[in-house]
Amino acid sequence: MEIVMSILAGTLFAAGVYLLLQKQLLKIVLGTALLSHGAHLFILTMGKLNRGAPPILEKGITEYTDPLPQALILTSIVISFGVTSFLLVLAYRTYQSNKTDMMDQLRGTDDE
Amino acid sequence: MLHYYILLPFLAALLIGLSAKKVNRIHTGWLVLPVPVVLFIIFCSKLPVLAKGKIVQSTADWIPSLDIQLSFYLDGLSMLFSLLITGIGSLVVLYSIFYLSRKEQLVHFYVYLLLFMGSMLGVVLSDNVFVLYTFWEFTSISSFLLIGFWFYRERSTYGALKSMLVTVFGGLSMLGALILLSITAETNSIRMMIANRSDILESDLFIPILILLLLGAFTKSAQFPFHSWLPDAMEAPTPVSAYLHSATMVKAGLYLVARFSLIFSGTDEFFIIVSGIGLITLCLGSFLASRQTDLKGILAYSTISQLGMIMAMLGFGTGVAILAAIFHIFNHATFKGSLFMIAGIVDHETGTRDIRRLGGLYTFMPISATLAFIGAFSMAGVPLPIFNGFLSKEMFFDSSLKLEQSAGLAGTFAEWIPIFAVLGSIFTFVYSMYLVFGTFLGKQKIDQLEKKPHEAPIGMLLSPIILIIFVIAVGLLPNLINEPLLAPAVAAVTGDLPHTHLAFWHGLNTPFYMSLIVIGVGALLAYTLKRWQPVYNKIPGKFSSDHWYQTMVNGLLRTSKSITGFYMTGSLRLYLSIILVFLVVSTSIFMYFTDGFTISFDDLAPVTWPEVLVGFVMAAAAIATIWMNQRIAAIIVIGVVGYGLSLLFVFFRAPDLALTQLIVETITVALFLLCFAHLPKLKKSDKSKSEKLIDLMIAVSTGALLTIVAIASHSSKSFDSIAKYFVDNSYKLGGGDNIVNVILVDFRGLDTLFEIAVLGLAALGIFAMIKYRDKGDMNQ
């Protein structure tokens, strides 16, 4: 199962990177969302899958799934939400101000 | 105690920097003056100790793990230089008080000057080679700052940069030599290296060590072919030229050669390089000096040539030669220091240093003129018992004649060396006469001057007068400084104490005839200078070291510009591609060499079909986003991936994650839906096929790398999971049943706090972007 999930995480990552390399801002935002999904799955796979009960203490149970990756992912989900929404609004404002959302036309100064 | 002497100028610099702005009533120089004066007196008080053949030393730990100690010692050689640094330093500070107007950035000037003084003392007192190197580079930096003191002048910044590049290049070479030395001799202390000299001489690294070390010395002391920075350094204020660029800093190279003489002296390589370069520099410098039209330019080339002469004598390595070298280091500081100061006075009082516009100033400034004549005659080596320069030049001739007895290459070349010595000295005579006669005698050209010349104030004349008194006193009674100062210095270079009696008259011997030739031919050439001066214009500029320097610097700039321009295109996508490719390549190489690609199929969870199905849908959805050209479809497909992920969280027993992911995904999709109406439609990619292929390759390789890292890290668990600690202590220490929650709010509570901070910042940013429209736009 871990191998299947590793491949899935890789696939999500590859799709995310491909979108990141596009010219349109909206695609880049979508790419970052895919990247964070891939990363979360990656971290979860690190802690081994399907071992023991959910990490909520109960009498009589001694085997629990690894809680640490879950805690890390929880933090990460919230942060990636913050990043995605920030980027989305940034893309919106960029378009409003510059009338374009193509990265090529958003190159800074001319002193190159 | 030596530590405190070195520290004193640095402390003074700090104090001046902090407080001088508040003391407005007096010139900052008066606050600085006590520092070198006090140090000079202290060093003088150590003279009797050294005369007894002892040395003063003190040590403190700095970086013991690397065997780098702040160990300092004062022997004859250090003493000579320390006295020059503090003595000339005192006179230069005194002179600068009258030279620099109070409107200048005096605090900067004196802070740099004190920094230099402290670091130069550090150079000549250090025993540890790496401490020496540190101070050495400090002198380069303070020299850079002082040359660029008038930073608004283009020539100043050019000269400052040039001196920095050349001397730092040499400094780094020297560092290489010092590292090799410390490896070969297995010590960082200069005195221990001298004790282990046979290890160094027999080592295979001997030649590299020698060449690298001499590169440091030659660049610092402006030896051919690195001499061209010194004339450009003349853009510094004149007190700086008198101090750094004639009396002290440029002699650091001589110091280095003298200091390591006990190791290298006597080898053929040392003789041929040091004497050869020294003699070339002597002749070239003195020949080119008469070409200059700027007073300070003449003095700069003169300094180059005199340094070459001392360097040559250090290369000879015989007792007579070393004594002459040490004596001339002292004499040169006195007459050249005073000549620089006079040049500064002329500049100050007439408004120009161009010798073509000067002439006949003797009637206006008789005192300055007299001082200049004495200084120049001493430099030229006129045989009168009042000129110290004559004595050391005579000893130079003498030492060049006595090489025949030397073994090795020195004996082979012995016949040729006196010819070079005479040749260099002839042109020395020529430019000395050119300098003073052209400025103070001849036709008056007052109408070409910006202001009417008159004699300088007595304060400004005081320093050159004191130096000229030294010139005459040492010329009359050279043995006054022989026993206490020169002999211990020679002993530090050669290993044994000389018992030479310095005298003016040795009878009608060969050195005296050589002097007569110099004066005869020199006078003739000086008299006919105007007629043969056009010779200089025939020398093609291609061969000047200035031209090489310019070509190299331009080439460097062009190359680095084209390299930077190659990848700094301003396209973020390109940067991202480079970063990703680098990540993939470097990680793969690292994993390859550390056996990271191990894949084991042990200890895997069983494959269950619902999960695989969800995974398949997610993968399909993720890939589909690439081709989605409708905004709403793309958003929905992204939603599929997110919701699929929360489903997987459910399968993999992570209830908290599933809940959070579900909520966040819902909000994100809602946000996307809110925004998309305001964003332009998705366009079909207009990239070419090959561009798409490159993107695809980067994306696939990054994804593949992630997969491999995940599998590899699963396959090779180097240590146990730390999860057990949280399971065991969740209730005991955190008081909660939900382990994930306890980790978040308790064990790793700080993480969560910063997570909230990030979210808060994102919210603020979003608010600001929506609320404040176009107000910060610079173009409007």
Q: What is the ipTM of this complex?
A: 0.92
Report the range out of B20-34, B135-149, B348-362 with the highest average pLDDT: B135-149
Angle between helices B366-380 and B458-476 (to 10 degrees): 30
Rounded Cα–Cα distance for residues A32 and A36 (Å): 6
Residue A37 with chain B: CB contacts under 8 Å? 622, 641-642, 645
The reply to whether B677 touches chain A by the CB within 8 Å rule is no
Distance from chain centroid for Cα B292? 28
Q: Are B223 and B90 in contact (CB under 8 A)?
A: no
pLDDT greater than 70 at residue B251: yes
Query: Would you state the structure tokens that stand for residue A2, as one six-digit string?
Result: 């871990």
**In 3D, which of B297, B295, B299 has the Cα closest to residue B352?**
B295
Q: What is the model's pTM?
A: 0.75
Distance (Å, rounded) from C-alpha B724 to C-alpha A68? 10
Q: What average pLDDT does the segment B378-405 reach?
A: 84
Give the residue carrying structure tokens 């902090």: B18
User: Exposed e or buried b for every residue in B23-47, given b needs 16+ CB within 10 A?
Assistant: eeeebbbebbbebbbebbeebbebe
Q: Which of A50, A66, A91 sits opposite B721 (nearest CB)?
A: A66
Q: B678, A92: Cβ pair inside 8 Å? A: yes
Indicate whether B776 pLDDT > 70.
no
Measured between beta carbons, the chain B residues lying within 8 angstroms of A88 are: 671-672, 675
Asked if B680 is an interface residue toward chain A (Cβ–Cβ < 8 A), one would say yes
Pair type for strands B56-63 and B68-74: antiparallel
Flag whether pLDDT at B777 surpasses 60.
no
B316-336: per-residue pLDDT in tens? 888 888 999 999 999 999 999
Averaged pLDDT of chain B: 86
In sequence order, which residues have a C-beta less than 8 Å from that of residue B65 and are 6 or more positions away? none
Whether residue B698 lies within 8 A of chain A, CB to CB, comes out as: yes
- Per-residue pLDDT averaged across B502-515, rounded? 79
Q: Which domains does chain A have, with CATH numbers?
A: 1-49+67-99 (1.10.287)
Task: Residue B761: list chain A partners with CB under 8 A.
Answer: 82
Q: How far apart are CA B338 and CA B463, in angstroms?
A: 7
Note the pLDDT of residue B779: 47
- As a whole number, mean pLDDT of residues A75-91 equals 90
Query: Would an 8 Å CB–CB cutoff place B720 in contact with chain A?
Result: no
Q: State residue B774's pLDDT score.
A: 58
- Per cent of chain B over pLDDT 90 is 32
Residue B541: pLDDT band by 50, 70, 90 thresholds?
low
Candidates B663, B612, B669, B679; CA nearest to B640 is B669
DSSP letter string over B162-211? HHHHHHHHHHHHHHHHHHHHHHHHT-SBHHHHHHTHHHHHHSTTHHHHHH
In the beta sheet, which residues pair with residue B68? B63
B602 to chain A, any CB pair closer than 8 A? The answer is no
Phi and psi (nearest 5°) for B61?
-75, 140
Q: Does B626 touch chain A (CB under 8 A)?
A: yes
B357-374 as b/e: b if 16+ CB within 10 A: bbbbbbebbeebbebbbb
Q: How far is A32 from chain B (nearest CA, A)?
A: 11
The size of chain A, in residues, is 112
Which residue is associated with the tokens 């390549």? B585
Q: How confident is the model at residue A111 (pLDDT cuts 50, 70, 90)?
A: very low
Question: Could you give the C-alpha distances from B622 to A8, A52, A53, B201, in angstroms and in order?
Answer: 10, 30, 30, 70
Q: Which phi and psi (to 5°) does residue B670 adopt? A: -60, -40
B570 touches chain A (CB under 8 A): yes
Higher pLDDT, B600 or B481: B481
Helix, strand or coil, per DSSP, at residue B218: helix
Q: Which residues of B touch A60 (CB under 8 A)?
A: none
Mean pLDDT of B511-515: 85
